[in-house]
Every structure is written in structure tokens, then in C-alpha cells.
Amino acid sequence: MSEHIVLDIDGRQHAIDADPDMPLLYALRDHLQFDNPRFGCGLGQCGACTVHVDGAPKRSCSLPVSKVGAAKITTLAGIGTPEHPHALQSAFIHEQATQCGYCLNGWIMTAAALLRDKPHATEADIRDGLTGLKCRCGSHLSILRAITRAAQA
């Protein structure tokens, strides 16, 4: 049974008619045509689907749209632009931190929340804060370098 749902995404209101149990990821990708976040595992384990909900990183593949309410959702596109990239986006580019980039959304969104709360995070803080994220290409070391670069900026 569909309901009319209004979502606040990257500072703009978006209305959809959807099943309230539908994952936020499907609302973003299928209903609203957002390129990010990405579908990874569908179980909330890999992190490719990470968005910020009122500033906290959440796995959108396991978050029903009915649980979002009036919360502010921020996607990767909402933290920076090509003209004014977020420090993490710049660091990832500088370090050439990915191969395929499929998991990039999860790493940057999780790290952005971490660095907001701990602007000068240590490598141990970063490793701890990114527990559970997956990169199938094995770019973990370059990803850690990029996040460390952003933390030192």
C-alpha cells in the first residue's frame, strides 16, 4: 500500500508515493534517480548505500522510508560540488584513492561524519570509525591515506 512521503534530500523537498516499508535506497535511486548512494549488499553491511540522516551516517538499504520522517538526508552530492568539493572529495582525487569507485559513497559519507565529530582524527580513530566498510578492489590503503590527508588539512 503506497503512501505520500516527502523527503528532505540535500536541502530540497522531494515527494514520492511509495510503500512505507521500502528502503530509503530504493526511494533515492529508483524513484528520485539519484546516482548515489549505491546498492552493495542489501543487508547494511558493506556501506555503499550510506547517507547522512540528520548528520549521522546510516545504511539506506536497510532504513525504511517511513522511519526517516522529517529528518534531513544528505547524499554524496550534497556534501560538495565539482566547483566546491568537500575536503574528503579533494583528498580522494589527490590520492587517486579508488580503482572502480563503486564503494566510494560509503567511505566518503562515513568519513565525513567522523571528521565532522573528530576534525583531527588519528589513523587509529579513522580505522575504528570505518569498521565494516568494504572495498572489493582492495583500495583500503589509498582510501586511508585520503582520509588522513583530509583530517590533516
**Tens-digit pLDDT string for the chain (153 aa):** 899 999 999 999 999 999 999 999 999 999 999 998 999 999 999 999 999 999 999 999 999 999 999 999 999 999 999 999 999 999 999 999 989 989 999 999 999 999 999 999 999 999 999 999 999 988 999 999 999 999 998
Cell of 49: 548505500
Q: Classify residue 4 as exposed, middle or buried by CB count within 10 Å of its CB (0-12, 13-18, 19+).
A: exposed
Neighbours of 140 (CB within 10 A): 16
Query: Cα separation of 44 and 120, whole Å?
Result: 27
What would be the CATH architecture of the domain defined by 79-152?
Answer: Orthogonal Bundle (1.10)
pTM as predicted: 0.93
Contacts of 34 (CB under 8 A, 6+ apart): 9, 28, 75, 77
Domain range list for the chain: 3-78, 79-152
**CATH homologous superfamily of domain 3-78?**
Beta-grasp domain (3.10.20.30)
- Alpha-carbon distance 136 to 118, whole Å? 27
